[in-house]
């Protein structure tokens, strides 16, 4: 089964776009690298090609619980995380304190 999955993934990967679109509740669209987006568990699951959910076929995830400001910061973090995944002594990411709570909720929701 495992190998069957792997081949299915490989097949699906072939026609996957490099970028996916994340949409905030106030209509902002963020096109980010698929690999970066996958760092968020919920986004990853929603896009899983084998499941065939709507998001997967459109490469577009609506996130009606998150506004544009927060989503921008989330995307920034996803790239930041991807970039520094294997390095040490990483500089802190700048987080405006006023966004803290909302970011926390978003992170919990998206399983980042």
Nearer to other proteins, 90 or 105 (CB): 105
Query: Which of 21, 45, 81, 82 is the binder for other proteins (CB under 8 A)?
Result: 45
Written as six digits, the tokens of 78 are: 């996803």
30 bridge partner residues: 22
Is 52 one of the binding residues for other proteins (CB under 8 A)? Answer: yes
Is 111 one of the binding residues for other proteins (CB under 8 A)? Answer: yes
Q: Which range binds other proteins by CB under 8 A, 12-20, 32-40, 77-85, 93-101?
A: 93-101
d(CA 5, CA 65): 32
- DSSP per residue over 74-93, as a string? HHHHHHHHHHHTT-SSPPPP
Is 55 one of the binding residues for other proteins (CB under 8 A)? Answer: yes
Query: Going by C-beta distance under 8 Å and a sequence separation of 6 or more, which residues neighbour residue 80?
Result: 93
Query: Which of 11, 29, 53, 83 is the binder for other proteins (CB under 8 A)?
Result: 53
Q: How far is the CB of 99 from other proteins (least distance, A)?
A: 8
Residue 97 gets which letter from DSSP? G
Strands 19-23 and 29-33: antiparallel
Q: Given the rule CB under 8 A, which residues bind other proteins? A: 1, 41-42, 45-46, 48, 50-57, 61-65, 67, 96-102, 105, 109, 111
């Amino acid at each position: 089964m495992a190998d069957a999955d792997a081949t299915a993934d490989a097949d699906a990967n072939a026609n996957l776009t490099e970028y996916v679109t994340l949409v905030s509740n106030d209509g902002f669209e963020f096109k980010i690298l698929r690999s970066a987006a996958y760092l968020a568990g919920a986004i990853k699951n929603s896009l899983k090609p084998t499941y065939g959910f709507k998001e997967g076929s459109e490469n577009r995830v609506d996130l009606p619980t998150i506004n544009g400001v927060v989503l921008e910061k989330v995307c920034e973090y996803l790239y930041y995380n991807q970039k520094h995944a294997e390095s040490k002594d990483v500089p802190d990411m700048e987080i405006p304190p006023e966004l803290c709570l909302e970011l926390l909720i978003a992170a919990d929701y998206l399983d980042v």
